[in-house]
Amino acid sequence: MKISTRGRYGLYFMLTLAKDYGVKKRSVKSVATERDISDLYLEQIVANLKKDGLVKSTRGAYGGYELNFPPDEITVGQVFSAVEENIMIVDADNHETKNESFLWKRIRDAVNDVLDHTTLHDIVDNDTDDFDGYMFYI
């Protein structure tokens, strides 16, 4: 499964907001700086998250981004759908047999099921590594 930097950075941003949910808002620049990524690139990704209604922003001294819903109501699938153009499980060959099609469909359905049933809360609640794996190993 290949997830682009847009997907990885978008998920990391959302996990950061989930970890801080109800406590503080975060700026794009602060998250980009702590991960050493381009704040301009992350801003483009966050714009898609905002457009899909997953995050909201507040201006001012105490402003920043926060989740629009509790972390247990936002799935990884929603995040990827907002920022990824297309998630390919495998690069299917046009010459696959009926049995191969069946296999790839089952794999795709299983991955989609995990993405659609894993919430930000599930990850924040179960991970202690500060989400480093979500930046580089998906």
pTM score, whole prediction: 0.85
pLDDT the model gives residue 108: 86
Give, in order, the Cα–Cα distances in Å from 102 to each of 60, 91, 95, 96.
Answer: 53, 14, 13, 10
CATH topology (fold) of 5-136: Arc Repressor Mutant, subunit A (1.10.10)
User: Along the 138 residues of the chain, how does pLDDT read in single tens digits?
Assistant: 678 899 999 999 999 999 999 999 999 999 999 989 999 999 999 999 999 999 999 998 889 999 999 999 999 999 999 999 777 665 555 555 666 688 888 888 999 999 999 999 999 988 755 556 555 444
Q: What are the sequence ranges of the domains in the chain?
A: 5-136
pLDDT the model gives residue 137: 47
- The answer to whether residues 104 and 92 touch, using CB atoms and an 8 Å cutoff, is yes
